[in-house]
Structures are given as structure tokens and as C-alpha cells.
Amino acid sequence: MADQDRGVTPSVDMSLASTLESVDNAEELVLKAAQEAGVDEDELHRVGMAVREAMVNAVVHGNRYSANKIVRLTVSIEPDRMTVRITDQGEGFDPVEVPDPLAQENLLRQSGRGILLIRAFVDRFHVRRVEPSGTEVTLVKYLSRPS
Amino acid sequence: MSVKLTTRQVGDVTVIDAAGRITLGEGSSAFRDTIRDLIAKGDKKILLNLGEVSYIDSSGIGELVSAFTTVTNHGGVLKLLNLTKRVQDLLQITKLFTVFEVHEDEAAAVRSFA
């Protein structure tokens, strides 16, 4: 089943303003949820960073700091995974169109590494357009719990 | 906390000791201002000590790259010192280990500018 259609009630479901303060708040909320779900310290850092990068994309590139647009953050915990969903109300983007930051000619570009880091730090990453306007990014971290 | 930057001189090398977070916003602009001021003073040999940097996001990485190109374009050299495991991981993931010269020992790093 697709991660966005699993029908799990989120433990966090918030609407956040399009500000850098919301980026910090979202990272903190997700870290708290991840810690409670048993994610270890190194992985916490990686999850937090992935959330931060996705939130920056939503606030800066999606909603462009608009006071009239919000970012929705949901966190769902299941026995085997944590799912974080971040949805903006911007014009949307296609991750395929982001220049490859690992290509030699792009190594010295100042920006464009956020999605690379998200992909590196979570187990699954989906992007989809939402109607009427916006982008929903889903991050999944699988949980390994002591048996 | 955002990043705290202090500069000191070791011979003709300017060492920037960074501590805290280099992230989008205040952290990255403070970093940019410091590099700009050093370039304006004519400093050409810059060693950036990241030993006390707890967190760098993609914007912070962009600032490191921007510092590198700014210093290089002004005829200078910027090297990195004391990377934490997390920052090392970031440079591996982003392939920037192929761009930056990285040192673990300050005295050796300073000598390498000679």
C-alpha cells in the first residue's frame, strides 16, 4: 500500500506558518516523536535533517514565505515505520528537474543539495502534487525495535 | 544557538573557529559576512575550524562552497580543519571531499599553506 494511503491516524497534525521558525519547530516536533518511537541518536540527527530540508523547501521554495500560505506537518508512527508528511501550498516542483548536485559541473553550486540529503537520510521519499496547489513530500523511516 | 565565529592569526594563516549551527538564516549570513571581511582585509590563507560545529544543513554546506569559491576567486586558499563525523558524512554524501582540503591537525594544516 502506498505510504500516503495507509489510513494511520497521525500523532502530530499541525498547520505551520511559512517561516524559518516553523522549520525549527517542525524539526523539534519530529525529533520528539522519533525519540519516543525509539529512533537512536545518530538516526535522530539524520531524520531531523531530512525534515529540516523538506521544511525549508516548503517554506522557502514552495510557499515563498507567504503569510497567506501554511505548511501542514503530520507524523504517523506504526510498529515498523515513522512517516512524516510535509505539504505546502506553493506552485510545486519536480525533483527530477533539480540539477544533479553530484555532477562535476554542479559541485560548486551554492544550492540544490536538499533533496540529495533527504534521500540519503530517510528510507523512502515521495513527492506528489496536490490540488489545487502545492506539493506533498512524504518521508519514511523504518524502525528497528529490539525484539 | 546559531553559529559563533572567532578569528585568530597563526603566522600568516587566519584561523576561523566556528561553533554552533550553520543553517539557513542567521548562521549562514554571519559566516558569509566573516569571509567577506577577511577577503576585504586581504587575508589569503584561511583555515576554517569546524570542530565545534554541531549542525550544518544544505544551506550551510552552500555557504562553505560559496566561501571556498569566493576565497579562491580572490587568489586565496580556504581549507577545513577538525570535521565532526556528521560533517564528514555530509561532505561524503555531497562529494565535496573532492573539493575541500581537509586537515585533522591544526599545526600540520597551518604548515600546509606554506
Peptide bond into A132 cis (omega under 30): yes
pLDDT in tens, A13-72: 999 999 999 999 999 999 999 999 989 888 999 999 999 999 999 999 999 999 999 999
Output the CA–CA distances (angstroms, integers) from residue A125 to A64, A87, B39, in the order listed: 22, 13, 40
Comparing CB atoms, the residue among B65, B94, B96 nearest residue A110 is: B65
Inform me whether the C-beta atom of residue A14 falls under 8 Å from chain B C-beta atoms: no
Per-residue pLDDT tens over the stretch A63-73? 999 999 999 99
Half-sphere exposure of residue A100: CA atoms within 13 angstroms, side-chain side: 5
pLDDT at A6: 67
Q: Is B16 exposed, middle or buried (0-12, 13-18, 19+ CB in 10 A)?
A: buried
A103 in contact with B at a CB cutoff of 8 Å?
Answer: no
Q: Which residue has the higher pLDDT, A91 or A15?
A: A15
CB contact under 8 A, A117 and B59: no
Residue A94 confidence class, pLDDT cut points 50, 70, 90: confident
pLDDT at A26: 97
Q: Which has more confidence, A84 or B32?
A: A84
Task: Quote the CA–CA distance of A114 and B28 in Å, as a whole number.
Answer: 15
Q: Supply the DSSP symbol for A131.
A: S
Of A107, A96, A90, give the one whose Cα is nearest residue B95.
Answer: A107
Size of interface A-B (CB pairs under 8 A): 51
User: Which residue among B66, B69, B95 places its CB closest to the CB of A102?
Assistant: B95
Given a cut of 60, is residue A123 above it in pLDDT?
A: yes
Residue B16 to residue A40: CA distance in whole angstroms = 32
Residues of chain B with pLDDT under 70: 1, 26-28
pLDDT of residue B27: 62
| A53–chain B Cβ distance below 8 A for any pair | yes
Q: What is the ipTM of this complex?
A: 0.89
Backbone φ, ψ for residue B81 (5° rounding): -135, 145
Please check the confidence at residue A145 and state whether its pLDDT lies above 90. Answer: no
Q: What is the strand order of the sheet B13-22 is part of?
A: B4-10, B13-22, B45-56, B77-81, B102-103
Q: Answer whether residue A2 shows pLDDT above 60.
A: no
Nearest CA to B82 among B70, B69, B73, B91?
Answer: B91
End-to-end Cα, chain B, rounded Å: 35
CA–CA separation, A85 and A130 (whole Å) = 12
**Residue A86 to residue A27: CA distance in whole angstroms:** 11
Give the pLDDT of residue B26: 67
CA distances to A67, B1, B7, B64, B106 from B48, rounded to whole Å, are 37, 19, 9, 9, 10
Shortest distance between the Cα of B78 and any Cα of chain A, in A, equals: 14
Determine the average pLDDT of the residues in A108-135.
94
Mark yes or no for CB contact B58/A113 under 8 Å: yes
Residues of A in contact with B57 (CB under 8 A): 49, 52-53, 56, 117
Q: Is B37 helix (H, G, I), strand (E, B) or coil?
A: helix
- CB-based contact A45 B57, cutoff 8 Å: no
Q: With CB atoms and an 8 Å threshold, state whether A52 touches B57.
A: yes
Residue B104 is classified by DSSP as S
